[in-house]
Amino acid sequence: MSGWEVLALPYFTQVCRATVGPSLSAAGFVETRVRPGGSLVFSRGDSLSTLGYFADYTPLELLMTIGTGGSQLDSDGRFNFVPLGFALRERSIEADESIWHFERDERSLERQLGKVRDNFIVPIALPLMDDTEQLTRLIERYRAEYRP
């Protein structure tokens, strides 16, 4: 193993499934893909969410994206998603940056995912994914700020 693979966490996928999966499942999302490195993709109709991490950061950092259109890029190569952190900033919701950080062990990941689930995924991300118009406007603002 060489390159980024040495940084991958073998337990990331399983901890995500156990900690966040039930909340997404209750909202009608199903796991549709596991990406290299263990990040998970969940979908419901045209709604799409990914949950992963930056393996080369210290401490490690969680990343969740929410989007529409059934894929991460549209036919013109533009983003069809927005990072949850961007959505929070756009809604003027202050989030302690440390909530996204975890150490290289399962318990730390489980603890932080639980906080992200309870503070942001269930009360903010899921309702936002139910409001396609609002989510589309948010994605447009993200596209204007960050070009692929």
89 φ/ψ angles, rounded to the nearest 5 degrees: -60, -40
Residue labelled with tokens 């993200």: 142
Mean pLDDT of the chain: 84
Confidence class for position 104, pLDDT limits 50, 70, 90: confident
Q: What is the pLDDT of residues 1-54, one digit of tens each?
A: 445 454 568 888 999 999 999 999 999 999 999 987 788 999 999 888 989 888
Reported pTM: 0.85
Cα 20 from Cα 18, distance rounded (Å): 6
Asked whether the bond before 59 is cis by omega within 30 degrees of 0, the reply is: yes
CB atoms within 10 A of CB 84: 24
Q: What is the pLDDT of residues 53-72, one digit of tens each?
A: 887 777 788 888 898 876 66
Cα 72 from Cα 49, distance rounded (Å): 9
pLDDT of the residue at 42? 94
